[in-house]
Amino acid sequence: MGHFDDDNVNLDVLRRRAYNYRWAEVPQGVIPLTSADPDFPVAPQIRDAMAAYIADGYFPYVPPLGLPEFRRAFCQAVHERKGEKIDPSLVLPLDSAARAMQVVARSFLRPGDEMLVFDPCDFLFRTACESAGATPVPVPVPMDPATRRMDLGALEAAVTPHTRMLGLCNPHNPYGLTYTPDDLERIMAICERHDLLILNDEIWSDIIYPDARFASIYSLGNRRCDRVVSVFGFSKSFGLAGLRIGCAYTTNPTLFSSVVEHSDVLSTMGGATSISQVAATAALTSAYGWVDDFLHHLMRNRDHAVDAINAIPGLRAYRPQATYLLYVDVSGTGLGGEDLCDFLVRDARLALIPGGRRFFGDGSEGHVRLCFATSRKIVDEGLDRLRRGIAHLG
């Protein structure tokens, strides 16, 4: 049986363990194409590494700044796959990318400061900013449906004397877009002119389809990136959400020292567990073949789902360049995202994530997000339910 065959999705286990809007939280009989988390078991190399570590029976403290093998493996992986040149001494493992975003925000933002947050964008940028007592400033970045590019024209006008940081989600969630070199140059130039830090989230940077190209902010050169602090996590590429493992990294030792100080790792109150770092190290060193196979499966699901949704009256799906998420315009149904998602759960037994301020910002109103990181069989059943549900609206 292949890793991504229909029979390799164990619904009995998922209904007991998969939380955060997924199988263990939805009513019985509802299909959740919701939270961005794969339905497949993790790569066997990760399970084997965890089992070997557990077999010794010892779980002592790890170094405050993380396992050296994790830090080295991370730097090697991002260099080989993305061309990023990061010193292992400037990588800090933390308990998830979300926690890393919070730590970065608390390291540099204070009450009265402002952070530019793209609208729409993942709500965690806003949440991280608010956790530091600062003010998130939503900046509209509408997408041109014809060119599939974001309009960054409102960014610089949103800068005030209180602006301290800009949040960059690359690739972008929920649009599923990568940034062009010109986009990144424009963003960096604005931050240089106004002396802004950049919180750079690259958690989706492994999920790039062959018909697209990923460019990291680090492609502009490490010297210019001395204002960048980045985060990465292992939930999207490797399915390790429950292990709570991610990291913060930078090219600037001064910024790194501040992140360490605010992470509480030196007091043992913060940090990532030993077994999580072991799993992530195995992922980085041994499981990218699994990720590449996963990407082939995802591309087939992506193309199939986009074509199917665009055949449903009232819906328009955009083919993502990255992520395993579809951003679907539902304005043609006459319902907003929240109302349509409520209807679909009741009428079609299908759960999706609604647009709107709660998850992505006001700019996502009139849209829903659909996750297709599951088997073709489940995707097909979900699409059938979506089709029937929209038909019942008429």
CATH number at residue 250: 3.40.640.10
Domain end (from 266, 286, 306): 286
Q: Which two tokens stand for residue 235?
A: 């939930």
Domain end (from 267, 286, 305): 286
Note the pLDDT of residue 147: 87
Domain count, the chain: 2
Return the CATH number at 323: 3.90.1150.10
pTM: 0.97
> Closest Cα partner for 382 from 310, 314, 305, 317?
305
Do residues 364 and 269 both lie within one domain? no
Note the pLDDT of residue 2: 82
For residue 189, which amino acid is it?
A: A
Do residues 124 and 273 both lie within one domain? yes
DSSP code, position 270: S
Do residues 265 and 155 both lie within one domain? yes
pLDDT per position as a tens digit, 284-332 = 999 999 999 999 999 999 999 999 999 999 999 999 999 999 999 999 9
Do residues 120 and 204 both lie within one domain? yes
The gap from C-alpha 82 to its chain's centroid, in whole angstroms, comes to 16
When pLDDT is cut at 50, 70 and 90, the band that residue 37 belongs to is very high
Residue 278, helix vs strand vs coil: helix
On the CB side of 213, CA atoms within 13 Å amount to 5
Do residues 215 and 307 both lie within one domain? no
Do residues 239 and 366 both lie within one domain? no
Q: Is residue 369 part of a domain?
A: yes
Show the domain range for 127: 51-286
Locate the DSSP E strands across 253-348. Answer: 316-318, 325-329
Do residues 241 and 100 both lie within one domain? yes
Average pLDDT over residues 147-172: 97
Domain end (from 249, 271, 286): 286
Q: Is residue 1 part of a domain?
A: no
Note the pLDDT of residue 1: 61
